[in-house]
A and B are shown apart, each in its own frame.
Chain A
Amino acid sequence: TQLLEQSPQFLSIQEGENLTVYCNSSSVFSSLQWYRQEPGEGPVLLVTVVTGGEVKKLKRLTFQFGDARKDSSLHITAAQPGDTGLYLCAPRGGQNFVFGPGTRLSVLP
């Protein structure tokens, strides 16, 4: 059974600050997805990373996949209140449809 952890569990910051959240596994990921879930909505896919060491940028969000494909990070630059939500990592491949425990981010104006 793959153990999946996300840290921190909760994060509350002021608008304009930078932050990084992490996703770690006891097993190698075939690929990994990051989703964001806003209150009252379903999760929305932000990115899929596939190759060890891969870095992907989505505006102010930077996603990194660890070289060993057992960890990933999401860095947000100059956070805005619209970034508030639950950030979920999700290992994919092999009929795997689970989500990590999530990081709940609150960005205060």
Chain B
Amino acid sequence: DTEVTQTPKHLVMGMTNKKSLKCEQHMGHRAMYWYKQKAKKPPELMFVYSYEKLSINESVPSRFSPECPNSSLLNLHLHALQPEDSALYLCASSSSGTGYEKLFFGSGTQLSVL
């Protein structure tokens, strides 16, 4: 199994809603990542978890709250988002998070904030 599974595929939420994005992998990887991708732009790194500890936080606003319950799961909790947060949110995993290995990406969650 070389898949990274993200749910939901699409999400529409209001600015006062609370929602969560979920990501799962069963490749035994110990590093997991959240990226944000706006239309016609490259993915931008948000967070890196390595061995279930947050190792990189790219100064992301606190309305985005990551959580890594175990080595296979990664969540992104969303609260009080703004319309400019509408984007494709990509989850990825890699074997250990050293920065040299291959990243495996999910298909993303397309988020629209109204």
Contacts and interface: CB of A to CB of B under 8 A. Distances in A.
Interface of A: 30-31, 33, 35, 40-45, 48, 86, 88, 92-102, 104
A14 to B, nearest CB: 22
Given A97-B33, A97-B48, A97-B56, A33 B102 contact: yes
A88 B44 CA distance: 12
A104 B56 contact: no
A42 B99 contact: no
Contacts, number: 55
Nearest to B101: A92
A101 B40 CA distance: 9
Q: Is the interface of A mostly helix, strand, loop or mixed?
A: loop
A93 B45 contact: no
Interface in B15-51: 33, 40-45, 48
Given A42-B107, A43-B105, A95 B99 contact: yes
A103 B48 CA distance: 25
Contact of A41 (B44, B97, B100, B107): B107
A98 B99 contact: no
Interface in B79-111: 90, 92, 97-100, 102-103, 105-108
B57 to A, nearest CB: 12
B45 A97 contact: yes
B76 interface: no
B4 interface: yes
